[in-house]
């Protein structure tokens, strides 16, 4: 895309690209909404996204206790998402958003539980967020993930505002 613009005569420097990328904000995608404890919102709604999120956590917070609030859509590969998430989190809360596409929290929990994860079930994001925040220490990491609707509902409760647009 940038090459095409340059071909059309646009002057786009490497510095302007760096500055532009540094200024990008995409609610619900790698969004840190609190630092102590660290609360990260990242939709990670497919296996590749879940694996990338775990790799990022391994690089940035490898020694911190991690808790996950997760809910996915029924048409997603929950087993592959669970494969990425289950070994990476000490505690997991399975939930479901208010979307009609949401997979029941019990099904999300079953996929994670088959892998030996310690899972609590909460049937709403609000309830799951309460559970996730309970006893969270300043040095812990809470990740909220699995779908933009789960992340959006949690984001609204935590800081207000949806994540339906970048």
- The secondary structure element, H or E, covering residue 39 is strand 38-42
Fold of 26-158: 3.90.190
Q: State pTM to two decimals.
A: 0.83
Look at residue 68 in the predicted model and tell me its pLDDT. Answer: 98
Q: Which two tokens stand for residue 166?
A: 């970048």
**CA angle at 160 for the pair 151 and 133, rounded to the nearest 5°:** 60
DSSP type of residue 86: G
Q: Where are the domains of the chain?
A: 26-158
The answer to whether 154 and 129 have CB atoms below 8 angstroms apart is: yes
Supply the mean pLDDT for the chain: 90
> For 44-78, what is each residue's pLDDT tens digit?
999 999 999 999 999 988 889 999 999 999 999 99
Q: Which residues have C-beta within 8 Å of that of residue 20, sequence separation ≥ 6?
A: none
């Amino acid at each position: 895309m940038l090459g095409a613009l340059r071909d059309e005569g646009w002057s786009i420097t490497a510095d302007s690209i760096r500055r532009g990328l540094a200024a990008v904000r995409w609610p619900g995608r790698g969004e840190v909404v609190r630092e102590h404890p660290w609360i990260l919102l990242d939709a990670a709604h497919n296996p590749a996204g879940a694996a990338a999120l775990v790799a990022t956590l391994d690089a940035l917070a490898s020694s911190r206790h991690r808790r996950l609030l997760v809910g996915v859509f029924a048409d997603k590969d929950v087993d592959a998402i669970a494969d990425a998430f289950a070994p990476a989190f000490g505690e997991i809360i399975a939930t479901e958003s208010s979307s009609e596409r949401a997979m029941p929290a019990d099904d999300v929990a079953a996929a994670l539980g088959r892998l030996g994860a310690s899972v609590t079930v909460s049937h709403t994001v609000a309830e799951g967020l309460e559970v996730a925040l309970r006893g969270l220490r300043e040095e812990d990491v809470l990740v909220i993930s699995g779908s933009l609707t789960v992340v959006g509902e949690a984001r609204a409760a935590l800081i207000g505002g949806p994540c339906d647009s970048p």
